[in-house]
Chains A and B, each alone.
Chain A
Amino acid sequence: DVKVTQSSRYLVKRTGEKVFLECVQDMDHENMFWYRQDPGLGLRLIYFSYDVKMKEKGDIPEGYSVSREKKERFSLILESASTNQTSMYLCASSFPRETDLSWYFGPGTRLTVL
């Protein structure tokens, strides 16, 4: 019954490394999202994608990029990881609003940048 999966639960990287976080959904959703979660700040939107190869910036895109080559897969890329990118990263997916009410979240990736 797994719907949204993320490639790693825990990840430790060094400053300056290029980091890839992968998200896969098996529900044929058009929309996919990357959020980061920090204590006291809630969830903040980094990037979203509404179709293959389409992407839009969210509220905090600086230092991140994304890739969506296939409908089911949405990747978040940290070009040069920094310590302030230590966080919990959550992927989500959904249908357009007319189709379905539900949003599905992945289990999260806790990234530590040393």
Chain B
Amino acid sequence: ELKVEQNPLFLSMQEGKNYTIYCNYSTTSDRLYWYRQDPGKSLESLFVLLSNGAVKQEGRLMASLDTKARLSTLHITAAVHDLSATYFCAALFVMYSGGGADGLTFGKGTHLIIQP
């Protein structure tokens, strides 16, 4: 059974600072997703990471994947208030042995507050 652990679960930081959210997963997975969720809203896709060493960047957010360590990170550079949200990582796994059906197992989320 695939388990996904995120840390920290809660993070309060000041604007302009850098920080990293960590995502560990317990068994082999060949795809790692990062999502953002604003209060009362659905999930917004941020990144999909496919291979070892993959790095993707969008604005002040950068995600990376180390499949050997089963670790993904989401790095925030020079945080701004608009990045306040809950961030989820999710790992893909095969649910149906007949093939074709994959599921996402989610971490518990990191509630990020960025203060002016």
Contact = CB atoms under 8 A, between A and B. Distances in A.
Given A31-B102, A102-B45, A50 B108 contact: no
B42 A106 contact: yes
10 contacts: A31-B100, A40-B108, A42-B108, A43-B104, A50-B101, A56-B95, A97-B92, A102-B48, A103-B33, A103-B45
B102 A96 contact: yes
A92 to B, nearest CB: 8
Contacts of A31: 100-102
Interface of B: 9, 31, 33, 40-43, 45, 48, 50, 88, 90, 92, 95-96, 98-109
A110 B42 CA distance: 11
B101 A48 contact: yes
Contacts of B108: 40-42
Nearest to A107: B42
Interface residues of A, number: 27
Nearest to A99: B100
A105 B106 CA distance: 13
A17 interface: no
B107 A45 contact: no
B88 A101 contact: no
A33 B103 contact: yes
Contacts of B41: 107-108
Interface in A24-63: 30-31, 33, 35, 40-45, 48, 50, 56, 58
Given A30-B100, A101-B48, A42 B42 contact: no
B88 to A, nearest CB: 7
Contacts of A94: 102
B103 A45 contact: yes
A76 interface: no
Contact of A96 (B42, B88, B100): B100
